[in-house]
């Protein structure tokens, strides 16, 4: 029975990987300047092989300077937030946990708001957002070490408290910011968007995101044991304290790096792991990679809608909330016994 479930899960994983490739190619074809799939393949192959250019220069510019950075950013951020959410839900054994549970998103938002208030460049905005996100979780972890009986619960409560403090700090910065120039920048950044991400910023953020995803991927089989219970995991030889530190550190790296370049994008890390469980089950060996693929595809699709629904581009964080909240409500009302 188990092997049958595993085989089914692997086939679903392969099928969704192929679907993700189709979404990736289709994303280039959507927009005010469409790039047909055959032309996309032709240009990419020509660049790889060094063939003489026989395609329009403006189409090459659209592919490499406009579409590719945001499509890769959408895939990377969606996969990262989904992986972090799945890891947190397994570690804390709570299906309502999301990547911002330990204050990483609130800390990153405060760092970005403060940088924008001080008039710093976009690179420093991203760096300070990343640093503040990491700092928020570090403070939450240090506070949790003082909780003797249940450090996991202590970490969650400390994260909620630290996140609330950073959110209050962000609100204060918005209160005193220049309402004509600075406040709109802060507000728009906090809504979440990947439209202005540049290649160098994507490369900078991809290092911690990919590293954190690799750590979680290598630990995915141990997450099955921790998700059952820490006592059971310890009885099977798992160092739960080390496991908690590794998972929290990896998920925090991912969350902070994602927020540092895209702003606040909610619901991805909360909803996508549930859909992954419905598709392939609760086995983290299959469910975690499935969450990454689903998250990447979901955010690419939402970004396509953000570009096409209106003349003025809609911040992607707004659309993920519009899509995520109703779907999660559906899960609770109709599939609540399986999430």
Closest residue by Cα to residue 254 from 82, 69, 20, 71:
82
pLDDT at 3: 61
**Residue 238 falls inside a structural domain:** yes
Judge contact between 317 and 74, C-beta under 8 A. no
CATH at 179 = 1.10.3470.10
- Cα 236 from Cα 232, distance rounded (Å): 6
- Cα 101 from Cα 85, distance rounded (Å): 9
**Residue 326 falls inside a structural domain:** yes
Judge contact between 137 and 159, C-beta under 8 A. yes
Judge contact between 217 and 251, C-beta under 8 A. no
pLDDT at 225: 81
Could you tell me which residues come within 8 angstroms of residue 71 by beta carbon, excluding any fewer than 6 positions away? 24, 27, 28, 300, 303
∠ at Cα 168 (165, 173), nearest 5°? 130
pLDDT at 54: 84
pLDDT at 331: 67
- Cα 210 from Cα 206, distance rounded (Å): 6
**Residue 26 falls inside a structural domain:** yes
Judge contact between 130 and 207, C-beta under 8 A. no
* 3 state DSSP class of 274: helix
327 HSE (CA, 13 A, CB side): 16
pLDDT at 300: 94
**Residue 339 falls inside a structural domain:** no
**Residue 117 falls inside a structural domain:** yes
pLDDT at 1: 46
Return the residue matching tokens 């998250």.
295
Query: In a structure prediction context, what are the per-residue pLDDT tens digits for the chain, which is 339 residues long?
Result: 456 667 778 888 999 999 999 999 999 988 788 888 888 888 888 888 888 888 888 888 888 888 999 999 999 999 999 999 999 888 888 777 788 788 888 999 999 999 999 988 878 888 899 999 999 988 988 888 887 777 777 888 888 899 999 999 999 999 999 998 899 989 988 888 888 888 888 888 899 999 999 999 999 888 888 777 777 777 777 787 888 889 989 998 999 999 889 988 988 988 899 889 888 888 899 999 999 999 999 999 999 998 888 777 888 988 888 887 787 777 677 655 555
CB atoms within 10 A of CB 133: 31
- Which residue range(s) make up the domain with 161? 2-334
What's phi and psi for 55, nearest 5 deg? -125, 160
How many domains, in total, are found in the chain? 1
Could you tell me which residues come within 8 angstroms of residue 276 by beta carbon, excluding any fewer than 6 positions away? 82, 86, 287, 288, 290, 291, 294
DSSP state, residue 314 = P
pLDDT at 72: 94
**Residue 57 falls inside a structural domain:** yes
């Amino acid at each position: 029975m188990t092997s049958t479930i595993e085989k089914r899960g692997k086939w679903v994983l392969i099928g969704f990987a192929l679907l993700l490739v189709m979404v990736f190619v289709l994303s280039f074809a959507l927009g005010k300047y469409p790039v047909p799939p055959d032309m996309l393949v032709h240009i990419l192959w020509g660049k790889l092989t060094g063939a003489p250019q026989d395609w329009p220069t403006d189409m090459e510019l659209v592919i490499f300077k406009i579409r590719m950075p945001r499509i890769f950013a959408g895939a990377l951020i969606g996969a990262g937030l989904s992986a972090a959410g799945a890891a947190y839900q397994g570690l804390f054994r709570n299906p309502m946990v999301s990547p911002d549970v330990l204050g990483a998103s609130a800390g990153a938002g405060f760092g970005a708001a403060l940088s924008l208030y001080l008039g710093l460049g976009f690179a420093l905005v991203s760096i300070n957002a990343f640093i503040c996100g990491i700092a928020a979780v570090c403070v939450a972890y240090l506070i949790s070490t003082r909780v003797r009986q249940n450090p996991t619960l202590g970490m969650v409560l400390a994260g909620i408290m630290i996140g609330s403090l950073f959110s209050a700090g962000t609100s204060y910065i918005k209160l005193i910011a220049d309402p004509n120039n600075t406040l709109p920048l802060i507000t728009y950044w906090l809504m979440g968007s990947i439209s202005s991400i540049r290649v160098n910023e994507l490369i900078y953020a991809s290092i911690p995101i990919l590293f954190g995803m690799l750590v979680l991927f290598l630990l995915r089989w141990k997450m099955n044991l921790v998700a059952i219970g820490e006592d059971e995991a310890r009885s099977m030889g798992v160092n739960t304290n080390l496991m908690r530190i590794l998972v929290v550190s990896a998920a925090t790296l991912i969350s902070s790096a994602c927020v540092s370049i895209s702003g606040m994008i909610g619901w991805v890390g909360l909803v996508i792991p549930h859909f992954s469980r419905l598709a392939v089950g609760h086995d983290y060996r299959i469910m975690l990679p499935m969450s990454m693929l689903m998250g990447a595809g979901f955010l690419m699709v939402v970004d396509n809608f953000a570009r096409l629904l209106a003349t003025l581009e809609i911040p992607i964080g707004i659309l993920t909330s519009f899509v995520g909240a109703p779907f999660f409500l559906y899960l609770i009302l109709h599939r609540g016994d399986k999430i």
